[in-house]
Amino acid sequence: MPQIFPKKANILPHISLIGALFGGVFTIFFVWYYFSPEYTDVGYEPEQPVPYSHRLHAGQLGIDCQYCHNWVEVADHSNVPPTQTCMNCHTQIRTESLKLLPVRESWATDAPIPWVKVHNLPDYANFTHTMHVNNGVGCETCHGRIDEMEVVRQVEPLSMGWCLECHRQPELYLRPNDQVTTMGYVQPADFVERNMERIRIEHIEPPTYCSGCHY
């Protein structure tokens, strides 16, 4: 009778043992790598096709965030403003500027400016701005002092743990809705009490169960 399991099969348990050891090492590496700041992209600051400055427009000129980021949430539609928004001013201001050449080209050809996305969540994590902005989470809380940035960079990890930190204790982060675009918001001394009260009245309950963010 031919041998079904060749002699070699005896080494299989050893291989699984070694595999398990390596697996363990791999898991540690995996966790370390994924949760380290490098992987979370904190500090990511890609070069943009136009030297557009938030420090100038949102900071010095004081243009409100929502003038350009108006949260019309259409699928596949970016929240970065169309060239038209820039041209509301730049048909009159700095019309000869070389820095604005790609903007005028985009305007003339109808081809959108290829802005590079700074913040990126994987597709399997569900996120909408509207629910946050309408429930008192400020832009500043997630994006930092944009009004002081010449070039936008990511300042928070946007990791699952980071999302959950707030979802478990939103009272430590909320501000009145009319302050969501304020940069440098100063919390009143009793802000936790005020937020607890608001959370109770408005039934603010950010999801902490898996399907709240992963469908």
Give, as ranges, the residues between 130 and 189 that touch ligand HEC (CB under 6 A). Answer: 131-133, 135, 137, 139, 141-143, 146-147, 152, 158-160, 163-164, 166-167, 170, 173, 180-181, 183
Q: Rounded to an integer, what distance in angstroms lies between the CA atom of residue 96 and that of residue 104?
A: 10
Closest CA relative to residue 39, chosen from 107, 100, 120: 120
Report in angstroms how near the CB of residue 43 gets to ligand HEC at its nearest. 13
- Residue 137, C-beta contacts closer than 8 angstroms, at least 6 positions apart: 166, 170, 173, 174, 175, 180
Per-position x/- string for 29-68, each x denoting binding to ligand HEC as judged by CB under 6 A, each - no binding: -----x-----x-------x-xxx-x-xxx--x-x-x-xx
Q: Which is nearer to ligand HEC, 17 or 32 (CB)?
A: 32
Q: Rounded to an integer, what distance in angstroms lies between the CA atom of residue 71 and that of residue 31?
A: 34
Q: How far is CA 75 from CA 17, 113, 115, 166, in A?
A: 48, 19, 18, 26
Q: Which is nearer to ligand HEC, 2 or 25 (CB)?
A: 25
Q: Which is nearer to ligand HEC, 12 or 125 (CB)?
A: 125
Per rule CB under 6 A, is residue 86 in the interface with ligand HEC?
yes
Which stretch in 2-10, 15-23, 184-192, 199-207 sits in contact with ligand HEC by CB under 6 A? 199-207
- Name residue, tokens 């300042």: 155
Q: Rounded to an integer, what distance in angstroms lies between the CA atom of residue 204 and that of residue 200?
A: 7
- Name residue, tokens 């700074």: 118
Q: Which is nearer to ligand HEC, 20 or 89 (CB)?
A: 89
Q: Which is nearer to ligand HEC, 15 or 75 (CB)?
A: 75
Which stretch in 1-9, 14-22, 115-123, 189-197 sits in contact with ligand HEC by CB under 6 A? 115-123
Closest CA relative to residue 204, chosen from 134, 147, 113, 116: 134
Which stretch in 8-16, 21-29, 76-84, 188-196 sits in contact with ligand HEC by CB under 6 A? 76-84
For 42, other C-beta atoms within 10 Å of its C-beta total: 16
- Residue 179, C-beta contacts closer than 8 angstroms, at least 6 positions apart: 136, 138, 185
Q: Which is nearer to ligand HEC, 29 or 34 (CB)?
A: 34
